[in-house]
Amino acid sequence: MTAMKQQSTYTRGLHRGLGVGVGYFSVSFGFGAMAAAQGIRALDATLISATNLTSAGQFAGLTLIVAGTTLWELILTQLVINSRYALMSLALSQKMGRDIGLLPRLAIAFFNTDEIFALAIAEREKLTTPFMLGLGTMPILGWTGGTLCGALAGSVLPLGIRTALGVMLYGMFVAIVVPPAREEKPVLAVVVLALILSCLFAWMPGLKTVSAGIAIVICTVAAAGICAVLFPVPDEEVAA
Amino acid sequence: MNLYLCIAAMAVTTYLIRLLPMTLFRKPIRSRFVRSFLHYVPYACLTAMTFPAILNSTESVLSGLAALVTAVVLAFRGKSLITVALGSSCAVLLTEFFITHI
């Protein structure tokens, strides 16, 4: 491939990832604000986003770090919450084929988030290294930049506004969960089950003493596991 | 626990989950159970992280509850991610304004 062709393919990827980049900016703004509200410095919050690039995992990690956790609990929580990426990386790996070598894969794996994965899978043309690198650029910038802005805003704004901004992240989680739960019964079952378990861990004597990370891990594994037995996904759905 | 050690542990774990299936273990997952499980994981963990934690994330339980109800109603009506998030923020601001001024 000539240098010019490579550049135009990179630009095409860049354009394709622009929307996700903007969306990430707003979500990570909430993460930054929440981190600042919990006493994490703006640059440290930005470092978390720049190195992790995952909303749910980072959020759980932040909660654990603030609460004072062990390293093992932190790692276990990340393993469970982010396990779905393994499936996405496998699928993306199939679609990329042999043309994309080991070195580019080291980079592409880093930014294989839910949304970038969806864009890459939906792409009609053959995936190339420049396209994939272009695709990842705006989301990475948006995610990291949004965190920095949110953390800076969160550390100067008055307490009332800070608390309100901190809730944004929960709002986004609700926005991710509710629409599919409304459409698909199995997802609704997962949500209700996780809800009940999570309340038990929060309020039941005995279970209350279980640390936050382990509670999330148990709720996730139990709810997803039970529903995987009761409502296995159809074969074609995961072939994506 | 050192903050940077924590960040590094999170980053390395997450990276390996994404990297290994793309480089070393590239066989498709045949087990229907495992694929179903991984499909349901995000919904389970997002739910467990949101509730009941959202109730204690603001100055009073009332404003947390207002944020949750607003978010669920907006999301149920199919509003966008950012609308739902800002809506729940506004609910907190309004509720806390009423609590302190009335």
- Condensed to tens digits (0 to 9), the pLDDT of residues A168-221 reads 889 988 998 999 999 999 999 999 999 999 999 999 998 988 888 899 999 999
Q: Which of B14, B40, B81 sits opposite A57 (nearest CB)?
A: B14
* A120-124 contacts at long range (C-beta below 8 A, 24 or more positions apart): A120/A92, A120/A95, A121/A91, A121/A92, A121/A95, A121/A240, A123/A16
- Condensed to tens digits (0 to 9), the pLDDT of residues B1-28 reads 699 999 999 999 999 999 999 998 777 7
Q: Tell me the CA distances in angstroms from A31 to A93, A107, A210, B24, B48, one per residue in order.
A: 30, 24, 25, 33, 17
* pLDDT of A50 higher than 60: yes
Give residue A235's identity as a one-letter amino acid code: D
Taking the CA of residue B101 and the nearest CA in chain A, the distance in Å comes to 13
Q: Which of A195, A216, A235 sits opposite B45 (nearest CB)?
A: A216
Where does the pLDDT of residue A160 fall: very low under 50, low under 70, confident under 90, or very high at 90 and above? confident
ipTM computed for the complex: 0.91
Compute the distance between CA of residue A167 and CA of residue B54 in angstroms, rounded to an integer.
7
Structure tokens at A135: 């695709």
* pLDDT of A166 higher than 90: no
User: B89 vs A229: CB contact, 8 Å cut-off?
Assistant: no
pLDDT at residue A238, rounded to an integer: 44
Which chain A residues are Cβ-neighbours of B70 within 8 angstroms? Answer: 171
Structure tokens at A46: 């930005």
Taking the CA of residue A34 and the nearest CA in chain B, the distance in Å comes to 10
Q: Which of B41, B58, B75 sits opposite A178 (nearest CB)?
A: B75
Cα nearest neighbour of A64 on chain B: B6
Contact (Cβ atoms closer than 8 angstroms) between residue A68 and residue B2: no
pLDDT at residue A236, rounded to an integer: 54
User: B85 vs A171: CB contact, 8 Å cut-off?
Assistant: yes
User: A178 vs B67: CB contact, 8 Å cut-off?
Assistant: no
* pLDDT of A63 higher than 70: yes
Number of DSSP helices (H) and strands (E) in chain A, helices first: 14, 0
Give residue A61's identity as a one-letter amino acid code: G
